[in-house]
A and B are shown apart, each in its own frame.
Chain A
């Protein structure tokens, strides 16, 4: 069935390190992906998205890579800061205007 998931439930890094959070998906027809960040006690917040006609997209300190061959995407955070500590989800919209399918999330912990 359709699923979106992350490889590791937790990731611990030191402040200033680069972080890489991975996500695998199963639906070959998926053509658009979104990364969300969820801080404790808050709703998910959009970080960056990528369409399937791209293999890389960069934002401010974040880069998303998409490998359609192996159905994998990753979120790279440069110079990780304590404020980046949160749960990160990759999400796949099922069809235009309908629900996002979320994976279980990776908890990123950044220590000073």
Chain B
């Protein structure tokens, strides 16, 4: 597709379960970002990939959160032992890299932990 694609669009899971959220970036974009957005707040940075490696994971809140991008394209955000406080919209963005290359965002995955 032409844009950043995130699946699923909505995910409801029970507290304590494991979830995976997928991001398909724009073809050719080497930089990929994950953000988390709570209601009424701006997106909060989680992790940034340049190619296959996590160049900056300083935003991951704890060790229950992990993300991979094994082939430098699709990325998966993994959350273990989900908690109700993990409920949010998880946004993915991709760009050509560099500070002044526009980041394009997907529509997000709305995660609800019940």
Contacts and interface: CB of A to CB of B under 8 A. Distances in A.
Given A43-B105, A44-B105, A100 B45 contact: yes
A42 B107 contact: yes
Nearest to A6: B42
A20 B100 CA distance: 24
B45 A43 contact: no
B42 A89 contact: yes
B107 to A, nearest CB: 5
Contacts of B43: 44, 89, 100, 102
B56 A98 contact: yes
B102 A97 contact: no
B42 A104 contact: yes
A70 interface: no
B11 to A, nearest CB: 15
A43 B99 contact: no
The dominant DSSP class at the A interface is: loop
Interface residues of B, number: 28
Interface string B45-62: 100101000011001000
A89 B93 CA distance: 15
Interface string A61-105: 000000000000000000000000000010001011111111111
A99 B98 contact: no
Given A43-B93, A104-B40, A99 B108 contact: no
B31 to A, nearest CB: 6
Contacts of B100: 32, 49, 51, 93
A2 to B, nearest CB: 11
Given A43-B106, A98-B48, A102-B35, 9 more contacts: A32-B99, A44-B43, A93-B99, A98-B55, A99-B33, A99-B48, A100-B45, A101-B45, A102-B42
Interface of A: 32, 41-46, 49, 51, 89, 93, 95-105
Q: Which 4 pairs show the lowest CB-CB distances between chains A and B?
A: A43-B105, A102-B42, A99-B45, A96-B99
5 contacts: A43-B106, A96-B98, A97-B55, A98-B99, A105-B41
